[in-house]
C-alpha cells in the first residue's frame, strides 16, 4: 500500500492537459444535453466527440510558451473564455435553436432590452458550465505538487502542435467524407458545429465575417448580370384581374410578433385562441401555406423580406450589418407614387438599428416609443401593451389622414413576445398545461393580440379609415422553437418530426381589400412574395425591380418557398436537413423528387446574399436615372 501511495505521489500531471480534458468532455456533454444535434451513425458520433479537441490543443497549447506563474494565469483566463463561449451558445440555443454568430454579437443596441428574456433562459444548473475552473484553481492552489512545473523544449512544443494539426486534419477529413463540401454550407450552422465543433465554427465564422466585409469594396456592377438574368427568366406574370383593385387606398400593415399559423382556427382548453382573426379571414384573402423566411434577425428580417423581396442573411441581421446599402424598398416606391410612409412601433428607435435602416428603406417617419405614453401601468414584458399601442396610434393615423394623400402605415406589435408574460387582468383564456412554460404562456398572449387587433379594426371603422384601407395582417416569425417539440407534440397530438417542424414555420397572412369577398389561397408562398403582391393590388408596376418574390395571386406562381436555413417547400414536397419528405404522408421519399428544386433554392439564397454583401443595387438603380434616390 505504501509503495502504491509512493508511486502515485511521484506522478505529476500537466495543468494544460487537465484543462484540455475538462473542457473537451464538458463540451461533449453540452452537445448531448444542451443542443439538439441529430446523430445518424457511429461516425457522426465519433466526429462530434473529437471535434472540440484540435481547437483546445491549439488554444491552450499556447501556455507551453509561458513560465509557470503566467502559464497558470493563462490557463485560467483561457478556460473561462472558452467556457463562456460555450455557455453563451447554450443560452442562445435555448430560445433560438441556433448558434451565435459574430454579427449577432455586434447587435449591442438590442442588449439593454433583452434582460427579461435572458433571465428567463437561465437555469440553476448553469453554474456547472464553469465547474472545471474550480477544479483547476484547486489544483493550482492546494495541490501544486501534482502539477508539472517545468519549461518545455522546442522539440516538445513542436511535437505537441504537430499532434494538434494532425487531429485537426483528421477531424476535417472525416467530416468531409460524412458531409462533402461542408464549408460551403454556411447557412447550416448545426451541420458545421456537428462536424468541426463549436469553437472551430466560431473561427470559421470570423473568417466569413472578414470575407463579407471585403465583398462590398471589391464588388462591381458586372456581378448583377447573372442575377438579373435569373430574375427575368423566372418572372411570373401577375394576376391581371386583380391589378389596381386597391389603387389609391391606404395600406395598413400589422406585423404580429411571434404568431404562427397553428393557432388559427384552433382551441386551447376548449376556447378559441384567435376568435377575431378566425372571423376576419372569412372576409379577406387568407393564405394558409405562407411561410416566414427569417434568420437570426427575426422581426427585422421579416421587415427586410416584406420591404425588399430579398432574403435576409444567414448570419446576423441585415438591419445591422448592411443598413447603409442601396435598396429599392416598398416605402420608397410608395413615396414615388404619392404615399406618406411611416412605421409605428412603441419601442426604442435604435432597437434592431431601425433608426438607421428605416432611412435606407425610405420611410418618411418613424413613430417610436417617444410618440407614445409608455408607463408601468400600460406596459408588460417588452413594453407597451398591444391594446394601448393601437389605441394611441389612432391619433397618428388621423395625422396621416389629414394630409389628404394615401398612406402606408406599418404596425409592429410587442405583447406576444418571448417569454410571453401577461398581467392577470389581461388574460382571457387559461394557460395550457404541458412541461413547457413557454408554450403554456403563449396561448394567452396570442389571444390578447387577437383582441387588440379586433379593437383596432373597430376603431378604424369609427374613424372612417376602414373602407379606404387595405389591411394586411402577418405573423413575423416563429414563437415556439424546436426546443419545445415535446410540448408541441402534446398539443398537436402528433410527433414533431423535421417535416412537422418545417410545417410549423407557417405564419398567418391575411389581406383585406375593401369590396372583395373572402377567399383562402393554398399556394405555397413566403414573406418574400409580399412586396410584389401588394404593389400589384395597389396598381403599381413592379416588373423592373430586382427581387425574388412573385405575386401570390398569379396563375403562374410556382408553389415554392425557401427558408433561410436552406429548407424549401413545394406543392408536394418538403426538403429539410438533407431529407426529402412527401407532404401527403409526411414520410421521407426519394431525393430525386426534390432534386429539381434544390439548385433553385440554393441559387436564390446565394444571389440574394451577393446583392446584400456587395451592395449591388447601387449599380443597378444608379444606372437608371429615373430611379435614382434623391
Active site residues: 299
Contact (Cβ atoms closer than 8 angstroms) between residue 478 and residue 258: yes
DSSP, res 416 = S
Assigned C-alpha cell, 320: 445591422
DSSP H helices, 329-382, are 330-336, 354-361
Sign of the CA dihedral with 465 first, then 277, 373, and 370 last? negative
Three-class SS of residue 344?
A: strand
Burial class (CB in 10 A: 0-12, 13-18, 19+), 134: exposed
CB neighbours of 289 closer than 8 A, spacing ≥ 6?
A: 506, 521, 522, 523, 524, 525, 559, 569
Span between the terminal Cα atoms of the chain, in Å: 88
Burial class (CB in 10 A: 0-12, 13-18, 19+), 213: exposed
**Quick one: the chain helix, strand, coil %, rounded to 5?**
55, 10, 35
Assigned C-alpha cell, 485: 417539440
Assigned C-alpha cell, 254: 400589422
Cα 273 to the chain's mean position, in Å?
25
Three state DSSP letters for 210-248:
HHHHHHHHHCCHHHHHHHHHHHHHCCCCCCHHHCCCCCC
Number of helical (H) and strand (E) elements in the chain, helices listed first:
24, 19
d(CA 44, CA 195): 8
Contact (Cβ atoms closer than 8 angstroms) between residue 503 and residue 584: no
d(CA 353, CA 358): 8
d(CA 194, CA 202): 13
Strand partners for 506 = 291
User: Residue 11: what are its φ and ψ, rounded to 5°?
Assistant: -80, 130
Amino acid at each position: 500500500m505504501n509503495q502504491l501511495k509512493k508511486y502515485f505521489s511521484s506522478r505529476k500531471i500537466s495543468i494544460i492537459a487537465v484543462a484540455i480534458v475538462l473542457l473537451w468532455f464538458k463540451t461533449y456533454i453540452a452537445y448531448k444535453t444542451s443542443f439538439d444535434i441529430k446523430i445518424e451513425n457511429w461516425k457522426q458520433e465519433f466526429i462530434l466527440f473529437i471535434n472540440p479537441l484540435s481547437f483546445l490543443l491549439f488554444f491552450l497549447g499556447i501556455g507551453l510558451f509561458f513560465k509557470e506563474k503566467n502559464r497558470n494565469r493563462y490557463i485560467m483566463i483561457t478556460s473561462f473564455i472558452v467556457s463562456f463561449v460555450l455557455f453563451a451558445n447554450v443560452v442562445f440555443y435555448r430560445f433560438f435553436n441556433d448558434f451565435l454568430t459574430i454579427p449577432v454579437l455586434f447587435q449591442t443596441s438590442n442588449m439593454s432590452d433583452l434582460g427579461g428574456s435572458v433571465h428567463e433562459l437561465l437555469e440553476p444548473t448553469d453554474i456547472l458550465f464553469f465547474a472545471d475552473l474550480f477544479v483547476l484553481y484547486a489544483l493550482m492552489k492546494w495541490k501544486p505538487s501534482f502539477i508539472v512545473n517545468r519549461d518545455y523544449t522546442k522539440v516538445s512544443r513542436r511535437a505537441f502542435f504537430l499532434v494538434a494539426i494532425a487531429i485537426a486534419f483528421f477531424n476535417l477529413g472525416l467530416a468531409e467524407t460524412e458531409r462533402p463540401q461542408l464549408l460551403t454550407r454556411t447557412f447550416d450552422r448545426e451541420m458545421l458545429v456537428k462536424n468541426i465543433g463549436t469553437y472551430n465554427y466560431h473561427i470559421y465564422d470570423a473568417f466569413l465575417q472578414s470575407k463579407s466585409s471585403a465583398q462590398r469594396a471589391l464588388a462591381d456592377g458586372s456581378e448583377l448580370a447573372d442575377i438579373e438574368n435569373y430574375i427575368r427568366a423566372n418572372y411570373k406574370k401577375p394576376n391581371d384581374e386583380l391589378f389596381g383593385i386597391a389603387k389609391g387606398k391606404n395600406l395598413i400593415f400589422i406585423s404580429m410578433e411571434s404568431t404562427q399559423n397553428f393557432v388559427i382556427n384552433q382551441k386551447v382548453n376548449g376556447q378559441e385562441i384567435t376568435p377575431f382573426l378566425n372571423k376576419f379571414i372569412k372576409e379577406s384573402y387568407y393564405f394558409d401555406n405562407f411561410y416566414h423566411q427569417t434568420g437570426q434577425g427575426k422581426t427585422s428580417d421579416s421587415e427586410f423580406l416584406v420591404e425588399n423581396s430579398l432574403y435576409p442573411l444567414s448570419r446576423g441581421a441585415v438591419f445591422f450589418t448592411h443598413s447603409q446599402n442601396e435598396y429599392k424598398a416598398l416605402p420608397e416606391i410608395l413615396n414615388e407614387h404619392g404615399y406618406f410612409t411611416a412605421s409605428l412601433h412603441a419601442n426604442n428607435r435604435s432597437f434592431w438599428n431601425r433608426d438607421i435602416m428605416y432611412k435606407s428603406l425610405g420611410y418618411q417617419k418613424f413613430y417610436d416609443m417617444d410618440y407614445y405614453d409608455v408607463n408601468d401601468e400600460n406596459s408588460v414584458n417588452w413594453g407597451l401593451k398591444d391594446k394601448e399601442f393601437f389605441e394611441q396610434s389612432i391619433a397618428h393615423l388621423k395625422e396621416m389622414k389629414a394630409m389628404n394623400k394615401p398612406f402606408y402605415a406599418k404596425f409592429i406589435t410587442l405583447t406576444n413576445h418571448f417569454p410571453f408574460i401577461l398581467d392577470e387582468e389581461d388574460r382571457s383564456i387559461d394557460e395550457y398545461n404541458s412541461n413547457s412554460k413557454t408554450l403554456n404562456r403563449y396561448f394567452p398572449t396570442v389571444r390578447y393580440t387577437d383582441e387588440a387587433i379586433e379593437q383596432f379594426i373597430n376603431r378604424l371603422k369609427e374613424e372612417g379609415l376602414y373602407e379606404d384601407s387595405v389591411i394586411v395582417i402577418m405573423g413575423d416569425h416563429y414563437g415556439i422553437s424546436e426546443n419545445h417539440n415535446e410540448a408541441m407534440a402534446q398539443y398537436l397530438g402528433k410527433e414533431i418530426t423535421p417535416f412537422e417542424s418545417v410545417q410549423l414555420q407557417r405564419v398567418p397572412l391575411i389581406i383585406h381589400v375593401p369590396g372583395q369577398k373572402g377567399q383562402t389561397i393554398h399556394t405555397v408562398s413566403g414573406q418574400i412574395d409580399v412586396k410584389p403582391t401588394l404593389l400589384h393590388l395597389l396598381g403599381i408596376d413592379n416588373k423592373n425591380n430586382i427581387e425574388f418574390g412573385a405575386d401570390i395571386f398569379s396563375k403562374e406562381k410556382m408553389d415554392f418557398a425557401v427558408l433561410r436555413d436552406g429548407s424549401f417547400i413545394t406543392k408536394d414536397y418538403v426538403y429539410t436537413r438533407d431529407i426529402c419528405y412527401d407532404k401527403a404522408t409526411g414520410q421521407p421519399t426519394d431525393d430525386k423528387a426534390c432534386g429539381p428544386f434544390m439548385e433553385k433554392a440554393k441559387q436564390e439564397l446565394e444571389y440574394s446574399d451577393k446583392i446584400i454583401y456587395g451592395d449591388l443595387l447601387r449599380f443597378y438603380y444608379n444606372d437608371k436615372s429615373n430611379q435614382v434616390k434623391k
